[in-house]
Amino acid sequence: MAEDYNFYDNVYDVVRQIPKGRVTSYGAIASYLGAKRSSRVVGYAMQVAGSANPPVPAHRVVNRSGLLTGKFHFGGNTMQDLLESEGVEVKEDQVQNFKALFWDPAIELEL
């Protein structure tokens, strides 16, 4: 049981560790997993996350621009509503003060 670790499952694990009121980017997660070029795969995992159990806080995962890419998958403004509910300022599907709210696993989980 060495291959039980999938890139996919690993992504969920990191996303679940995102503290409330914080956001991260696909590249940050991918980079933390050692596949910074696989940022797209991370996003794909999020798609299935909507079907995953327990569902990962994908609403805390945005692209490197802080843009709520994928809100479409949530089914409306659910993503933005959740972020605002956690104290994250979202304007036009874009995380405000993104840089300050940016949660980098490669740094936060570093210790």
- Residue 7 engages DNA in binding (rule: CB under 7 A): yes
Q: Please give the residues from 72 up to 111 whose contact with DNA meets the rule CB under 7 A.
A: 72-74, 79
Q: Which of 14, 22, 32, 43 binds DNA (CB under 7 A)?
A: 43
Token pair, residue 26, equals: 């696909």
Whether 59 and 83 have beta carbons less than 8 Å apart is answered as: yes
Q: Which is nearer to DNA, 40 or 91 (CB)?
A: 40
List CB contacts of 67: < 8 A, sequence separation 6 or more.
Answer: 93, 94, 95
Rounded to whole angstroms, how far apart are CA atoms 19 and 27? 18
If you write DSSP's letter for every residue of 67-89 in order, what string do you get? B-TTHHHHTSSHHHHHHHHTT--
Residue 5 sits in the site that holds DNA (CB under 7 A): no
| CB of 33 vs DNA, minimal distance in Å | 9
Q: Is 48 in the site for DNA (CB under 7 A)?
A: yes
Which positions lie near DNA, rule CB under 7 A?
A: 6-8, 25-28, 30, 35-50, 58, 61, 63-65, 69-74, 79
